[in-house]
Homo-oligomer: A and B are copies of this chain.
Amino acid sequence: MNLFLRDPINTAEMDKFFNPASIAVVGASNRRGGSQTIKNLLFGYDGEIYPVNPIHKKIQGIPCFPSIEDIPPPVDLAIILVPAPAVPSVLASCARKGVSRVMVESAGFTEVGPDGKNIQDHCVAIAREAGIRIWGPNGMGLVDIPRRYFFTFMTPRIYRDGIIDGRISLIVQSGMLSAGFLVDLLSRRNIGVGKICSIGNKADVDECDLLPYLLNDPETDVVALYLESVPRGRLLSDLVKRSKKPVVVLKGGKSDEGARAAKSHTASLAGNSRLLCDVLDSSGATLAEDFHQMIDLARTLSVNPAIPPRCRLAVVSFSGAAGIVSCDLMEKHGLRIARLSQETKHALGNLYPEWMPVANPVDLYPAMELHWRESPVGQAIFILLKDANVDVILVHFVTGLGGEELDLSALKKEADRAGKLIIFWLLGRRKTSREFSLTAQKYGILVYDEISRAVECLSAGARFRAYETSKRTKDHVSSTRPVFDPVKSNVSLPEAGVLDEYESKKILKNWHIPIAEEQLVTTVSEVKEAARKIGFPVVVKGLLPGELHKTELGLVRLAIAREGELERAFRDIKKRLQGTGHILVQSQIDTDFELITGFLRDAQLGPCVMFGLGGIFSEIQQDVRFALAPINHSGAVNLMSQIRGNAILNGFRGIKPLDMDAMADLMVCLSHLGADNPNIEQIDINPVAVTAGSPVAVDAAIVIGSEWQEKKQGHIESVRTPSF
């Protein structure tokens, strides 16, 4: 199976970082960090090593050069360890020497304030000019566990407990995962990893440069990323979408208050990370929220081909309680409990004492009491592997209590033959459970410490597979429905500010978005005439320029049924408006339920759309999802399916189902309106009233770009295009 990217991409640009024929270490010394880097290289790196230091003659027995320019042969990669202020001149030397790949592992750059930022900017300018790619600064470089490449100054004590080779590669915007965390994974967790890229401040090389390389890397099965900022979020999302390998993302910095001006509901619901997480999730990324969870997800997804999209689990347990809790957690995570076939029940029945009924979870305790020495657990697994109704077997296993030995190699072979997955929840004594998990690691069998984690990871695997399947289906099946092509009306927009409801909806109407019947009025007789024309009951609204929250100001009167009431409402609102704004009469729509949809332009992701449950509950329940704009019809339908409360869209309790095509058209139009008009910053349509299935925009606001917005635009454009 081809696990690489769907389209061939050029990843040669990064190759010299991973496979340099020679490495110069600038700032190699006999002090801790400097000499450690040479020691680390000597541990496994098989190319040429050139320590650079003007004082020393030799470091770790290897001859030193006073400057990188003094090294006679070509240098593929320079690792720079000198203090920040000295880095620009080293880069200039690299440029003269013709070194085009540099890892700066020193700190003291942007992360320490304006002075450091100046140095970093200076470095980037030198590198751009000379065609040098910089990895770092303020990172821990690269570790390639299976090759024993340690291009880093980190301490090497991890070798003591024995390295475990793996096929999970990491990109981390932080040094920590390269050191303490790696030690923990190898030593305590018995988990192997492949390449670990610690990219620090990512002044130049970032996750969007390295991800394609790792997705193309035959030694990597899955990539896990820890990211704080994602300046090229749109590109990252595209890379994830095009990848056939699973990608796991842990986004740090969710609680930081974003700089986004939340003028609209849409923007306030986007939060600091939610938008990015939604978009990555829709692109097929698997999201994590803690470090070990990230690794657990990654190692689960690395065996992904064996996890079917809707996986039916059999649970083999020594405890009824653990079986019950497993089922509770499976239900919570949307996994299904397999219905065992008659053959399976019969075969399992032979293991049991007579009184014991066979069920799933398969509680083996009574069988273990009977057949302690005949390996009932192994026998039960072999029986379940034959059952066509079973996709995954979750085995609860205790090591070190004696009696039961499992032949993991034979089990794995049989599982592979059946195209099924066996995973373990492991309990037991310290030493025996370590042995067990190392053996399991060797055979590619997944072992978890907690049932909840096992189930959570399996659910993520099933989800990824469902995504993969739908992607393949979409590639081959063309929609029978013609693609909706919104007419791009000429919209004349003011320079900045918030358009009122009436102005906003006029624009929406021009873009073929259905809006409620309405009319501006200025006098009592006009309001009466309008109401008669529209038909009672009506709504009267006072519109204040720049004001999004009419209800709070008492400017909305609903369900006006009679002329007397109408006149009172009109006069009162007119008084509240104090001579400014407009008054709008609208038909009172008898709503089945309310939705919200919106548009915003994000600094990292550019144009985005939002969909969710609307009305006053939208911000209370926050049941909304974001996607990149413009969106097409199937993208819009997909977005609608992602909200928690999507049951309401499909005809809940006799309410007519939402006309999904009409709502998708509305969102397609909205997304193009926003995406095609760069000075539109935010659009809210809230609520979209749904009556007998048909969506109608009842209230709306368009926010036109400010200086802030222009700055943001500049930022997006300045992002370099990818290298393929």
Q: Interface of A with B (CB < 8 Å)?
A: 107-108, 111-113, 115-116, 155, 157, 160-161, 172-177, 179-181, 183-184, 187-188, 226, 228, 250, 252-256, 289-293, 317-322, 324-325, 327-332, 355-357, 365-366, 398, 400-402, 427-430, 433-434, 449-452, 536-537, 549, 551-553, 558-559, 561-562, 588, 590, 592-593, 613, 616-617, 619-621, 623, 644-645, 647-648, 652-655
- Establish whether residues B654 and A428, one from each chain, have CB atoms under 8 Å apart when the complex forms: no
- With A155-B401, A593-B617 known, 12 other A-B pairs at CB within 8 A are A160-B429, A161-B429, A175-B319, A177-B319, A181-B427, A184-B428, A188-B429, A188-B430, A252-B321, A255-B331, A551-B655, A559-B559
* Contact B654 A549, beta carbon cutoff 8 Å: yes
**B647 touching A427 by the CB < 8 A rule?**
no
**A452 to B549, Cβ gap below 8 A?**
no
Output the nearest chain B residue to A555 by Cβ-Cβ distance.
Answer: B654
Q: Which of B252, B331, B561, B616 contacts A561 (CB 8 A)?
A: B561
A181 surroundings in chain B (CB, below 8 A): 427
Partner of A250 from B111, B173, B325, B553 at Cβ < 8 Å? B325
User: Chain B residues with Cβ under 8 A from A430's Cβ?
Assistant: 161, 187-188, 434
Looking at the assembled complex, report how far the CB atom of A170 sits from the nearest CB atom of chain B, in whole angstroms.
12
Q: Is there an interface contact between B452 and A155, defined as CB atoms closer than 8 Å?
A: no
A253 adjacent to B617 (CB under 8 Å): no
14 pairs, CB–CB < 8 Å, chain A vs chain B:
A107-B366, A108-B355, A175-B319, A179-B398, A180-B398, A180-B401, A290-B450, A290-B452, A559-B561, A613-B621, A617-B617, A617-B645, A617-B648, A621-B645
Contact B289 A328, beta carbon cutoff 8 Å = yes
Instruction: Tell whether, in the assembled complex, residue A188 and residue B619 are in contact, meaning their CB atoms are under 8 Å apart.
Output: no
Contact status B428-A179, CB under 8 Å = no
Say whether B290 contacts A427, CB under 8 Å: no
Per the bound structure, the CA–CA distance linking A648 and B622 in Å amounts to 12
What CA separation (Å) do A291 and B561 show in the bound complex? Answer: 60
Take A328-B254, A654-B552 as given contacts and tell me if A319 and B174 are in contact as well, using a CB distance cutoff of 8 Å.
yes
Collect the chain B residues with CB atoms within 8 Å of residue A434's CB: 430
| Chain B positions within 8 Å of A111 at CB level | 320
Are B401 and A365 neighbours in the complex by a CB distance under 8 Å?
no
Contacts of A176 in B (CB 8 A): 317-322, 365
* B293, B330, B588, B654: the one within 8 Å of A255 (CB): B330
Q: How far is the CB of A486 from chain B (nearest CB, A)?
A: 31
A398–B254 contact, CB under 8 A? no
Known: A355-B116, A653-B616. A322 touches B291 (CB 8 A): yes
**Assembly CA distance A648 to B620 (angstroms):** 7
Q: Are A402 and B561 in contact (CB under 8 A)?
A: no
Closest residue of B by beta carbon distance from A322: B176
9 tightest A-B CB contacts, nearest first: A552-B654, A176-B319, A174-B321, A180-B398, A255-B331, A184-B427, A561-B561, A252-B324, A290-B452
Query: What's the Cα separation between A549 and B653 when bound, in Å?
Result: 8
Q: Which of A402, A452, A620 has the most chain B CB atoms inside 10 A of its CB? A: A620
Shortest distance from the beta carbon of A216 to any chain B beta carbon, whole Å:
26
- Asked if A449 and B174 make an inter-chain contact with CB atoms under 8 angstroms apart, the answer reads no
Interface contact B290-A329, CB-CB below 8 Å: yes
A616 to B317, CA, bound (A): 41
Contact among B113, B325, B621, B653 for A551, CB-based, below 8 A: B653
Provided the pairs A255-B327, A561-B537 are in contact, do residues A398 and B291 lie with their beta carbons within 8 angstroms?
A: no
A292 to B616, CA, bound (A): 40
Closest chain B residue to A454, Cβ basis: B290
Q: Which residues of B contact A553 (CB under 8 A)?
A: 654
A644–B177 Cα distance when bound, in Å, is: 35
Q: How far, in angstroms, from A107 to B366 measured CA to CA in the complex?
A: 9
Q: Within the assembled complex, what's the spacing in Å between the Cα atoms of A532 and B648?
A: 35
Q: Are B226 and A356 in contact (CB under 8 A)?
A: no
On chain B, the residues within 8 Å of A172 by CB distance are 321
Instruction: State whether B180 touches A318 (Cβ < 8 A).
Output: yes
A147 → B minimal CB distance (Å) = 23
Nearest neighbor of A116 in chain B, beta-carbon distance: B355
